[in-house]
């Protein structure tokens, strides 16, 4: 036997000596990762790949090394950056400006900017009315933020400005503090824009955008669907001709509509319904026919022009108008009413969350379609600066619009120049068109809002979730119903809470699989997924498909006990034994293990030791192995029971199981708590059996000496 031969003996049994008595080396002591041969008797050897055990005293293994390495990498990256990369970091617009192709990009950018700009003017006034503000503040919100975002934002197609969902959130929170007619209402809306911008920039600088990932798509879909109904009912007052209660709950809205039915007026209802029909028809034609794509963007402008023309000609007294709108660009002013900051914090967080999910999600999708990369944190920073700068020019919270961004992309926008064109159109509207806007019917603006939010009702998503994942459908339903019945804030909180509860439940009850060997290979897979995979008597192989931490250790231990019992009742390949002697944990999917899990592993080892069961570990990653080494678990179990592959562990365990079958009374002695005999049995070797015979459970030599030890034909299980 060569010096590379290794001893495989269980440290659970103190007197266990080497399988190969001539070997003096211990597994894992060599720094070389080359395969090791273990003689099984006869002329064949079992090839085992030694597992590299990291040193606990090596540089970088300390607890502070993680943050130190991050800082070092950051400094190295800063040193490598060129002046061009520094400019792109602070001014992302430089990326498209430096590579702008005038002949190829200018015309589609101008057309897209004009198209979306024309769409933005009436929409911004409509959304301002939804937020409980004067239409002029919607125009302001669609002006300054566009220019700021074009410079500091990283998306080239995202169209930012007022949106329906944010407007509803603003209205919901501010109306509970003060009446919309009060000047304080407007000042709080401007302050809210500043707070949202600061929070977005802070999250971007701290790179905390990942926190929003805990809000699942099912929650957002259910929330937006419910919000669409609330928004539509809130705008119904302009169709019906009488005031209804301001609320984010559907029941008070419906009660208010029913109780005021005697005030119903036909003219605004007929006009609003006609405007809505025109909008929906133009949107449908624009979506379904490419050559009529312009109609989707031209819908809001058409409704405004037709409504204004009708009012100018016939002067119907029962149709309310927008009224006087100040002319000119917004003036610089510092946000006020900082004493209300505390009461606005929850809404600030909610609006920021919606902004990240809607804007960053849309921006990423458009960036992928147009072939460039997008930095989510830079995107968040651009949105934050747009709100901060805009708050000094009387805006309320703005974010990326799904509908306008889609139109911008479909119109052929290539760069941020389309956004500059939108801003210029909005500036022209503020300078020259506000005298015309005072004749716009309120019901026409309401029709624009309702036509926009109809697209938020996500029936297709609900049907998809019902078909694919009932749990996500339940989450969608809970979020939707709580938002409708209890309000927007409670709906979001309940949805996120239930979503996190699902995550915690999945994490605390991870997937655990019993592995078997695929016929003719050395690959081990889930026996439920691959019924043809076979197991071995006396050995159970378990794969844990999750990090192991304090919340799931009890569940994992319980499952291991169940698998041990189930294996005792089943028949596999290999020598016939009456119970389990080895448990192999495949830890490749385990990315992390905490102190509670380490303690649980120690307890599990002691529990197995008391029942003469040896624990073996397969393929732990470096961090997990380092944690186990620091906690003394590696030495407790024994370095020789840590393996690179499951197959290596199985081969060694099979050798020990074979020794037990050669002594018929061994298990009787084991039952009498005499582990010393088990120790002696594991140390004895018989040279008349080859490894393939052990794996198949056949005592006659079925394979030649030249057979590849890593492969074996499919053999039927023992009856």
Low-confidence ranges of the chain (pLDDT < 70): 1-46, 55-70, 566-571, 661-719
Instruction: Please give the structure tokens belonging to residue 478.
Output: 């809970």
Structural contact between residues 377 and 197, judged by C-beta atoms closer than 8 angstroms: no
CA dist., res. 189 & res. 140, Å (int): 13
Positive or negative, the Cα torsion across 415, 418, 423, 427? positive
Instruction: Please give the structure tokens belonging to residue 657.
Output: 């199981």
Positive or negative, the Cα torsion across 203, 209, 214, 218? positive
Where does residue 388 rank: exposed (0-12), middle (13-18), buried (19+ CB within 10 A)?
buried
Question: Vertex 190, ends 185 and 193: CA angle to 5°?
Answer: 130
Query: Could you say which DSSP state residue 52 is in?
Result: P
CA dist., res. 148 & res. 393, Å (int): 12
Buried b (16+ CB within 10 A) or exposed e, 303-331: bbebbbebbeeeeeeebebbeebeeeebe
| H or E element in which residue 541 lies | strand 539-544
Instruction: Please give the structure tokens belonging to residue 607.
Output: 């529990």
Count CB atoms within 10 A of the CB of residue 561: 12
> Mutual orientation of helices 595-610 and 622-630 as an angle, nearest 10°?
70
CA dist., res. 639 & res. 339, Å (int): 64
Query: Could you say which DSSP state residue 31 is in?
Result: S
Structural contact between residues 385 and 197, judged by C-beta atoms closer than 8 angstroms: yes
Residues 6+ apart with CB under 8 A from 313: none
Residue at token pair 């961090």: 623
| H or E element in which residue 484 lies | helix 470-486
3-state SS string for 405-465: HHHHHHCCCCCCHHHHHHHHHHHHHHHHHHHHHCCCEHHHHHHHHHHHHHHHCCHHHHHHH
Domains defined along the chain, listed by start: 107-502 (no CATH), 509-665 (3.30.750.24)
Radius of gyration of the chain measured on its C-alpha atoms: 35
CA dist., res. 485 & res. 69, Å (int): 50
| H or E element in which residue 349 lies | helix 341-355
**pLDDT given for residue 576 in this prediction:** 80
Instruction: Please give the structure tokens belonging to residue 389.
Output: 């700068």
Q: Report long-range pairs for 367-370 (Cβ below 8 Å, ≥24 apart).
A: 367/154, 367/155, 367/156, 367/157, 369/409, 370/156, 370/157, 370/409, 370/414
Instruction: Please give the structure tokens belonging to residue 221.
Output: 């879909």
Structural contact between residues 362 and 374, judged by C-beta atoms closer than 8 angstroms: no
What string of DSSP letters covers 200-215?
A: HHHHHHTT-GGGGGGS
User: What values do phi and psi take at 12, rounded to 5?
Assistant: -70, -20
User: What values do phi and psi take at 165, rounded to 5?
Assistant: -65, -45
Cα distances (angstroms) measured from residue 639 to each of 20, 51, 544? 17, 9, 20
CA dist., res. 540 & res. 578, Å (int): 13
> Mutual orientation of helices 217-234 and 459-468 as an angle, nearest 10°?
150
User: What values do phi and psi take at 42, rounded to 5?
Assistant: 80, -145
CA dist., res. 633 & res. 648, Å (int): 20
CA dist., res. 586 & res. 344, Å (int): 50
Beta-sheet pairing, 539-544 with 582-586: parallel
**pLDDT given for residue 568 in this prediction:** 53
Instruction: Please give the structure tokens belonging to residue 519.
Output: 């016929």
Chain-centre distance for alpha carbon 181: 41
Beta-sheet pairing, 582-586 with 614-618: parallel
**pLDDT given for residue 423 in this prediction:** 94
Helices and strands per DSSP (H, E), number in the chain: 31, 10
């Amino acid at each position: 036997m060569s010096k590379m031969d290794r001893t495989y003996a269980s440290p659970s049994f103190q007197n266990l000596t080497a399988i190969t008595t001539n070997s003096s080396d211990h597994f894992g002591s060599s720094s070389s990762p080359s395969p090791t041969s273990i003689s099984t008797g006869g002329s064949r050897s079992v090839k085992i790949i030694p597992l590299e055990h990291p040193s606990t005293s090596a540089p970088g293994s300390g607890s502070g090394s993680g943050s130190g390495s991050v800082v070092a990498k950051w400094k190295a990256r800063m040193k490598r950056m060129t002046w061009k990369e520094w400019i792109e970091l602070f001014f992302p617009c430089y990326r498209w400006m430096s590579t702008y192709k005038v002949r190829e990009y200018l015309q589609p950018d101008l057309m897209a900017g004009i198209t979306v700009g024309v769409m933005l003017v009436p929409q911004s006034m409509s959304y301002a009315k939804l937020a409980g503000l004067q239409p002029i503040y919607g125009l302001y919100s669609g002006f300054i933020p566009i220019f700021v975002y074009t410079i500091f934002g990283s998306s080239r197609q995202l169209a930012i400005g007022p949106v329906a969902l944010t407007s509803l959130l603003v209205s919901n929170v501010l109306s509970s503090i003060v009446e919309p007619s009060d000047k304080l209402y407007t000042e709080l809306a401007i302050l809210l824009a500043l707070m949202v911008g600061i929070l977005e920039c802070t999250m971007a600088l701290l790179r905390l955008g990942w926190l929003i990932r805990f809000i699942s798509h099912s929650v957002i879909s259910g929330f937006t669907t419910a919000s669409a109904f609330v928004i539509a009912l809130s705008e119904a007052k302009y169709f019906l001709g009488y005031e209804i209660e301001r609320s984010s709950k559907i029941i008070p809205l419906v009660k208010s509509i029913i109780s005021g039915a005697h005030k119903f007026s036909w003219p605004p209802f007929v006009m609003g319904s006609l405007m809505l029909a025109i909008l929906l028809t133009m949107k449908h034609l624009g979506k379904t026919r490419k050559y009529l794509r312009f109609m989707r963007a031209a819908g809001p402008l058409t409704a405004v022009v037709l409504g204004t023309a009708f009012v100018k000609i016939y002067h119907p007294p029962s149709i309310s108008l927008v009224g006087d709108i100040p002319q000119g660009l917004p003036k610089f002013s510092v946000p006020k009413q900082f004493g209300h900051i505390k009461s606005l914090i929850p809404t600030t967080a909610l609006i920021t969350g919606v902004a990240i999910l809607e804007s960053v999600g849309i921006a990423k999708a458009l960036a992928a379609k147009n072939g460039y990369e997008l930095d989510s944190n830079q995107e968040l920073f651009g949105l934050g600066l747009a709100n901060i700068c805009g708050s000094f020019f009387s805006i309320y919270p703005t974010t990326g619009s799904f509908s306008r961004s889609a139109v911008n992309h479909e119109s052929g926008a290539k760069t941020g120049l389309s956004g500059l064109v939108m801003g210029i159109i909005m500036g022209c509207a503020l300078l020259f068109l506000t005298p015309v806007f005072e004749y716009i019917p309120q019901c026409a603006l309401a029709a624009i809002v309702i036509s926009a939010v109809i697209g938020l009702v996500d029936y297709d998503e609900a049907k998809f979730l019902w078909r694919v994942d009932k749990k996500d459908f339940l989450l969608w339903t809970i979020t939707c119903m709580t938002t409708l019945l209890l309000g927007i804030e409670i709906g979001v909180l309940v949805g996120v809470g239930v979503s996190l509860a699902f995550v915690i439940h999945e994490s605390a009850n991870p997937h655990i699989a019993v592995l078997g060997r695929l016929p003719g290979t050395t690959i081990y897979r889930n026996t439920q997924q691959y019924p043809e995979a076979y197991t071995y008597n006396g050995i159970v192989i378990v794969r844990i498909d999750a990090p192991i931490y304090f919340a799931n250790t009890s569940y994992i231990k319980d499952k291991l006990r169940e698998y041990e019992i189930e294996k005792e009742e089943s028949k596999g390949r290999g020598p016939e034994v009456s119970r389990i002697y080895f448990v192999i944990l495949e830890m490749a999917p385990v990315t992390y293990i905490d102190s509670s899990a380490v303690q649980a592993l120690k307890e599990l080892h002691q529990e197995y030791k008391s029942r003469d069961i040896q624990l073996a570990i397969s393929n732990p990653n470096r961090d997990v192995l380092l944690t186990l080494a620091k906690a003394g678990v590696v030495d407790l179990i024994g370095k020789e029971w840590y393996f690179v592959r499951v197959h290596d562990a199985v081969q060694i365990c099979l050798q020990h199981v074979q020794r037990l079958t050669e002594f018929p009374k061994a298990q009787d002695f084991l039952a009498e708590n005499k582990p010393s005999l088990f120790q002696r049995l594991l140390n004895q070797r018989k040279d008349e059996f080859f490894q393939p015979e052990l794996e198949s459970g056949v005592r006659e030599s079925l394979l030649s000496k030249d057979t590849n030890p890593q492969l074996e034909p499919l053999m039927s299980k023992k009856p």
